Amino acid sequence: GCLPISIIGLLVETTHLSLVTPVGWWLLVYSTVVQFCIAYVSWFAALARLPASVAAIGTMAVPVIGVVASAIALGEPLGAGQIAALVFTLAAVVLATR
């Protein structure tokens, strides 16, 4: 999965680790370790407390949450095509939960 791609990326790309600031290192650690751990702990806690079909709703809603969050936080464009895709995704979530 990810390991071969990471190795190929390291071989192909030129890395300048000396240019990464201390804030950059902290953000890297935070995004890879802290968020990763929080995500897995939250997911398994949800699975322990909810039926898998209900917990899966959160997984199916991730693309919608990501697009809306990037539009709000980063000012990414949210046009008619994206909105239609979000509506279809949410409709699929509703159909899958019935």
Q: How far apart are the first and last CA of the chain?
A: 33
Indicate whether 9 belongs to any domain.
no
CA–CA dist 66, 69 (Å, integer): 5
User: What 8-state DSSP symbol labels residue 24?
Assistant: H
Say if 11 falls within a structural domain: no
User: What pLDDT score does 1 carry?
Assistant: 57
Q: Does one domain contain both 74 and 92?
A: yes
And the tokens for 20?
A: 């990464």
Q: Is residue 29 part of a domain?
A: yes
Q: Is residue 38 part of a domain?
A: yes
- Given this model, what pLDDT does residue 88 score? 93
Kindly report the pTM of this predicted structure. 0.54
pLDDT of residue 55: 77
Residue 56 and residue 43 share a domain: no
**Whole-number percent of the chain with pLDDT over 70:** 98
Q: Closest Cα to residue 65, out of 57, 42, 43, 25?
A: 57
Domain containing residue 39 = 18-49
Name the token pair of 24: 């950059």
- Smallest CA-to-CA distance from 61 within 30, 38, 92, 40 is with 92
